[in-house]
Amino acid sequence: CHPAFPFIFAHNRDEYRARPSCSVTLESETGVACGRDAEAGGTVLGIHSLRGHFAALTNRSCRRELPSSRTSRGRLVEYILLHGPDSVKAFVSSRVFDGFHLVFGDVLTEDPQLEYIWCEAPASGRDSAPSAAGSQEVNQGIFVLSNENVSVGESPWPKSVWLRTAVSSFLEALPSDPLVHDVQEGLAEIMGHADAPPPGQEVASRSSIPDKRSGPFL
């Protein structure tokens, strides 16, 4: 990302604004730094302050209704923060989740190792297995992710393409020893954009996404 920062991460909470949440805090009982979902108890972004386990999640665009017995996606992030990334795939396969994208790994090193997995919700509420899923290692460089449905072959959404270019230009313009505050402020400004794509560039599966456009997510 930048010589002074081996790992930089920016995240937008992909959730209804009315859903209650708790502010970010360092939990003395777990060692985890995160904000909590006050409704289901999980989190969408966090890091273990001692072990370096990191995870962040965003939704996949889908309006299919699933049974109320499904596990909150925020519990997936919580599991990684507490137990590490090694057994996350077994945890995913043993439960029913709404569709998601997840980036996770150990980051308190000079060479952070990250992986990306995505999972599509079951084809029916009675099916415990996801209808599609996949994973890949996250290579060095700028990795951008929104709520595209990669399993159906969608091209990156316009906001994702724009974000990669904007972040790349921002990082290249930073001095060799930038202030953390300046990096945070610059990324917050970039991530705060919420423009509709130009005419003709809307996602083909328009019925599967919200009517209002939003900013980039991961």
Looking at the domain assignment, is residue 190 inside a domain? yes
Q: What is the pLDDT of residue 176?
A: 92
What's the total number of domains in the chain? 1
Looking at the domain assignment, is residue 214 inside a domain? no
Looking at the domain assignment, is residue 15 inside a domain? no
Looking at the domain assignment, is residue 17 inside a domain? no
Return the structure tokens found at 142: 């700028």
Under 8 Å CB-to-CB from 93, ≥6 apart: which residues?
129
Q: What is the rounded end-to-end Cα distance, in angstroms, of the chain?
A: 15
In this structure, are residues 213 and 194 in contact, taking their beta carbons and an 8 Å threshold?
Answer: yes
Return the structure tokens found at 11: 């995240």
Nearest alpha carbon to residue 15 among 79, 74, 75, 81: 74
Q: What is the pLDDT of residue 123?
A: 58
**For 150, phi and psi rounded to 5 degrees?**
-65, -25
Q: What is the pLDDT of residue 124?
A: 56
In this structure, are residues 174 and 187 in contact, taking their beta carbons and an 8 Å threshold?
Answer: no
Looking at the domain assignment, is residue 163 inside a domain? yes
Q: How far is CA 124 from the centre of its chain?
A: 24
Looking at the domain assignment, is residue 9 inside a domain? no
pLDDT digits (tens), the chain, 218 positions = 788 898 999 998 777 788 889 999 999 999 999 999 998 889 999 999 999 999 999 888 665 666 666 788 999 999 999 999 998 988 988 888 888 999 999 999 888 989 999 887 665 555 555 556 788 899 889 999 887 766 555 677 788 889 999 999 999 999 999 999 999 999 999 998 877 656 655 554 444 444 445 555 55
**For 215, phi and psi rounded to 5 degrees?**
-75, 170
Looking at the domain assignment, is residue 14 inside a domain? no
**CA–CA gap between residue 141 and residue 62 (Å, rounded):** 29
Nearest alpha carbon to residue 53 among 90, 107, 116: 107
Which position has the token pair 């930089």?
8
User: Which structural domain range is residue 130 located in?
Assistant: 25-208
Amino acid type, 124: S
Nearest alpha carbon to residue 97 among 143, 166, 40, 150: 40
Looking at the domain assignment, is residue 12 inside a domain? no
